Amino acid sequence: MMAATLIDGKASAAALRARLTIDVAAFAATHGRTPGLATLLIGDDAGSQVYVGAKQRACAEVGISGFDHRLAADTPRAAVVGLLDELNADPDVSGILCQLPVPAQLNGAELTNRIAADKDVDGLTVASAGRLALGLPGLRPCTPTGVILLLAAQGVHLKGAEAVVIGRSNLFGKPMGQLLLAANATVTICHSRTADLAAICRRADVLVAAVGVPNLIQGDWIKPGAVVIDGGMNRLDSGLTGDVDFAAASEVAGAITPVPGGVGPMTIACLLRNTLQAAERVLAG
Ligand code: NAP
């Protein structure tokens, strides 16, 4: 029997995109230009092609200009760096993302860090991570931002809440912990070497899974009434599966995200939101 409220990420993402469509049109009317997102895809990785295609389509849907740069897998470093520098200097480009992974002769971290911090819509440069760590304004990574927006839409009070994040990647777990901390939760970040993960999870008023291990989090790890956010996207033969044993956890939790249809749809919507924010910040000086 399911006790938990289902947190509908698809509906929240659709609402966010609808609002962004209005805000992008207002930006264009006020400033006589549209925000623009440049994507850089090097090589022919099939998964990356799908992701970049989805990001460009999502831009078009809300009225953001798309600059879809595709380079051959053997493109030399100097040419990629040259293009990134051009995009950094181009006033029509508000945001830039370099789709990872990049081919072996290139260094993904180096290319990511070449992106100007004010155009870093993935929030993955050293400068953006530093701004987040210091509590300075800046562009934040999309997936943890999406989680914060889902919690807000659900009316979850983070101030003083005990939040537990499982995972400490630079992309998800670490910035997730920092965003929860900025929202005045008391945050614990767990990882593969954490002792007694189950006991720590049982303390959580808000539990965020950012692991990549299907069904790791058991029903009896959940505090009754807790809010459970499952960021896991594990591709199994049976389909897309989260990090949380959904059937068991939803009997105990107060609210829970499904997989698919929870955190996933928010990520691209937050990329669009970051692109508009980047455009606005440039004009605000
Ligand atoms: P990652 O870089 O592989 O990081 C996984 C983290 O989980 C690491 O910190 C690792 O600990 C920890 N971990 C692994 N096994 C564990 C265990 N048994 N117990 C406790 N902690 C464990 O992965 P990621 O990029 O952060 O992604 C995490 C999940 O989120 C994946 O399923 C990914 O597909 C999903 N994701 C979804 C979106 C989206 O758009 N919805 C975006 C990004 C990621 P160590 O640091 O000790 O190794």
Q: How far is CA 46 from CA 40, 42, 96, 101, in A?
A: 14, 11, 21, 11
CA angle 95, 97, 98 (to 5 degrees): 155
Q: Is the pTM of this model over 0.95?
A: yes
Cα separation, 95 vs 61, in Å, equals 17
Residue type for position 123: G
pLDDT in tens, 141-172: 999 999 999 999 999 999 999 999 999 999 99
Cα separation, 44 vs 218, in Å, equals 38
Nearest to 41 by CA among 69, 67, 17, 63: 69
100 lines ligand 1 (CB under 6 A): no
Res. 7 pLDDT band, cuts 50 70 90: very high
Q: Are 96 and 123 in contact (CB under 8 A)?
A: no
pLDDT in tens, 176-218: 999 999 999 999 999 999 999 999 999 999 999 999 999 999 9
Cα separation, 157 vs 18, in Å, equals 25
| For residue 251, pLDDT beyond 70 | yes
* DSSP per-residue string spanning 200-269: HHTT-SEEEE----TT-B-GGGSPTT-EEEE---EEETTEEE-SB-HHHHTTT-SEE--SSSSSHHHHHH
Q: Give nearest CA residue, ligand 1 atom 31.
A: 212
96 lines ligand 1 (CB under 6 A): no
**What order of strands is seen across the sheet that includes strand 186-190?**
5-6, 255-256, 227-230, 206-209, 162-166, 186-190
Rounded mean pLDDT, 58-76: 98
Question: How high is the pLDDT of residue 282?
Answer: 86
Q: Give nearest CA residue, ligand 1 atom 22.
A: 192
Going from the Cα of 245 to the center of ligand 1, the distance in angstroms, rounded, reads 16
Choice from 100, 150, 201, 211 to test ligand 1 binding pocket (greatest atom count within 8 A of CB): 211
Q: Are 242 and 230 in contact (CB under 8 A)?
A: yes
Identify the residue whose tokens are 């830039």: 96
Going from the Cα of 210 to the center of ligand 1, the distance in angstroms, rounded, reads 5
Choice from 149, 150, 169 to test ligand 1 binding pocket (greatest atom count within 8 A of CB): 169
Catalytic residue annotation: 55, 99, 122
Res. 99 pLDDT band, cuts 50 70 90: very high
| For residue 1, pLDDT beyond 70 | no
Going from the Cα of 30 to the center of ligand 1, the distance in angstroms, rounded, reads 41
The kind and range of the H/E element at 273 are helix 264-284
What DSSP character marks residue 117?
G
| For residue 47, pLDDT beyond 70 | yes
279 lines ligand 1 (CB under 6 A): no
Q: Give nearest CA residue, ligand 1 atom 8.
A: 167
213 lines ligand 1 (CB under 6 A): yes
Nearest to 257 by CA among 75, 24, 8: 8
φ, ψ of residue 191 in degrees (nearest 5): -155, -170
Question: How high is the pLDDT of residue 2?
Answer: 72
